[in-house]
Amino acid sequence: MSTIRPDDLHERLESGTDDEPFLLDIRPEPSFEGGAIDGSRNVPVYDDLRSGDESTLRARLDEIPRERAVVVVCKMGIVAKRATRLLRDEGYDAVTLRGGMSGWRGYHEGSLSYKIRSLLWKLR
């Protein structure tokens, strides 16, 4: 499964190039409204995907641009893997944000847990 680390995503978003990815946040709307990555789009299909129902995401594929890379974001990155797999099967260039919003926040806060996770990711 293709993933992107928070530090790599941050670098890509800050690069100012034309290939900025489409940030697809699949968390429920209240979670999204409580904090999200700037510029991300909320398509709240997290609960459905978590229960194994892909139909809601399939019904909303027209909201996701095919001409851009897609970074899928959820709480911890686990359910986002399901969305990423579906998108890749449908022909999208999609990856999952490792650690989800938890990883993104940890990266920006410089938390010890993020630093340990990041080190483990680099060792894999």
**Count of domains observed in the chain:** 1
- Cα(91)–Cα(119) distance, integer angstroms: 31
Range of the domain at 106: 3-123
pLDDT tens, N- to C-terminus, the chain (124 residues): 599 999 999 999 988 777 789 999 999 999 999 999 999 999 999 999 999 999 999 999 999 999 999 999 999 999 999 999 999 999 999 999 999 999 999 887 866 676 676 767 677 6
pTM of the model: 0.89
Q: Return the CATH number at 13.
A: 3.40.250.10
